[in-house]
Structure 1
């Protein structure tokens, strides 16, 4: 995938990682970058094409796909974090997490995949999380939704390959964005750096981009027992 001269759509492009992705796509020579946001009037990113898009609204998604009919690259970045638990958290918040990260990202993918295929193929990047792999109290709804989005990513990668569409997964922990404003600075990474690595991964047709020491450690622990991911659990019994 050559980003130069590509036509990209970035969801959630108004701030955080999405804003950096949109800006760096322009820097790398993308012919056009559609910045998907709920309120285009509030967008202040020079050089992009504002695209009204609410990924939780199917009609909005359909309209966006029609407006960006020249797209060759889709970045599913839009997301939320309600910090809702699963055992006793608000079901409305749990549903919102799933509607955003799973159904929302899937809906955008389903709308834009035929567009990208009709334009000769291209690429798709799903912004996932370290919490796609490790699931923690305090992030129950988010973890479940991101795990579902990971499963979706792995499936559509195979389904879209015959159409000439590459699918890359981005896994990262805390970034220095508004969503993680409560996290200590030393525990966060620079979203501009993450954006650069993600775009490198797209160009290299990587299956996944794993950013940061913590993400790499969790990725490596997946091949071991659950005690590696959850060391606070009781010691496992011999079976």
Structure 2
């Protein structure tokens, strides 16, 4: 498991630490870029991808790049970690089928496909070599946040082909981590001319204090406490 140190510490950086001077790691999430496919780089979709990735400390790509040039482009903004997708035939040393990271005490596992999300959590944990607190996936092109059995599950959707629509601006994910605190958000980047973005905004915040985590959610299909009220799209 790779341990990643935060870049935010001390009074000088408290403008990036909304909860005080505790370390904060800001992570950009994306998946299923499928480039080159009509365009070579994400900035050809507009300024929104650049503006988003300029704001993060680390980038996690959930796979289906189809070209390592996507990683080269992303690395101008921050270090990149990538999972290998089912459409990634060319090996790249920056990508592994399963990626494990430890950041601010949170154990993250990233894998391209985590279909069958509603299986028991014990079965989902078997996708990773050791137990994780945060599961990150892609593959479905469907954005989703869920918290179940003390595990946050994140699918940022597709930044280029959201919900399997033709090429357009889609969704990304933002993940903020501090010791004992997590906030994640799905962000629709905007609309391409004549091609509306079908992605939905959603967010989830988790605070570990005491025996039971405090969870606040703004996610379709869940109430504000993170209780599932409908089951539809899989991660």
TM over 0.5: no
- Sort the TM-score into its range (normalised by shorter chain): 0.3 to 0.5
Answer 1 or 2: which has greater strand percent. Answer: 2
Length-normalised TM-score, structure 1: 0.35
Answer 1 or 2: which has greater helix percent. Answer: 1
Whose Rg is larger? 1
